[in-house]
Structure 1
Amino acid sequence: MKKGTIATVAMLSISLFATSAFCDTKKGEKVDGKAEFEKHCAACHPNGGNVSNPQKTLSKAVMAKNGVKSQKDIIAKMRNPGPGMTKFDAKTVPDKEAKAIADYILKTFK
């Protein structure tokens, strides 16, 4: 009986720690746009480039030419991209993270 109780407590403790690792950022907590960009975007957009379509970089001029000028436009492109780009739905990249990524892109790639 004692071993069963210890095992149960141990499993509950582990599950509590594991669950917190999968939670979205806490309310009021700032999201690191650069870290999120590195996590979700940098493999295909290293240094703001584009490995699958070099003509569509993340530079401000190129994005504007393709109708992407604001945070809202970038998030829309993340949610419903064109051919060759991975789709990032709100479950994969929550809105708070998407906004941080968009802000990072706008500030970083001029």
Structure 2
Amino acid sequence: MPLPPPLPGRHIAACLAACLGMAALLGGCTESQKTGSPPVASERGAQLFKVRCAPCHPDGGNVINPRKTLHGGVLADNGIASPSGIMNRMRNPGPGMTRFDQGTIPDSDARLIAEYILATYR
């Protein structure tokens, strides 16, 4: 099947610009839908982290299992990328971690801790 005749130069440039612009717009929209607003490290979240988490996770590390820190890449490697993921781990931890139930840390405080972790240890 023969190829169609080439478009004049200005049409190619306009088409390319339109395609690139659309890709940039769609890419930005898709990313914002996936991630939502970035987490914010509140003062209350920092205080709660210091009291409840820092004894075992100083500076985002892990004194029990040094391979499972709170740093973004490690969290993501373990399937944790959102405040709800951190809250779930607080409620249902693995071996070596204290379980923090709703009575110990209410959901509102757990969310502040989770947002603090994600904002601070990306």
- From 40, 65, 71, the counterpart of 1:59: 71
Equivalent residue in structure 2 for 1:96, among 100, 108, 113: 108
Moved over 6 A (4+): none
Report the TM-score when normalising by structure 2: 0.65
2:109 maps to 1:69:
no
Match of 2:98 among 75, 86, 89: 86
Question: Hey, what does 1:40 align to over in structure 2?
Answer: 52
Matches of 2:70 and 2:95, distance apart in 1: 16
Secondary structure of the corresponding residue to residue 74 of structure 2: helix
The alpha carbon displacement at 1:31 in A equals: 7.3
TM-score by length of 1: 0.72
Q: Unpaired segments of 5 or more residues in structure 2?
A: 1-41
Structure 1 Cα separation of the partners of residues 117 and 84 of structure 2 = 12
**Which has the greater radius of gyration?**
2
How far apart are residue 67 of structure 1 and its match? Answer: 0.5
Equivalent position amino acid for 1:58 in 2: L
CA distance in 1, matches of 2:91, 2:43: 19
Amino acid of the residue matched to residue 79 of structure 1?
A: R
Q: How many residues align?
A: 81
Deviations 1:68-94 (A, max 9, x none): 110000000000000000000000000
Which stretches in structure 1 are left out of the alignment for 5+ residues? Answer: 1-29
Match of residue 49 from structure 1: 61
SS at match of 1:32: helix
Residue identity over aligned pairs, in percent, reads: 53
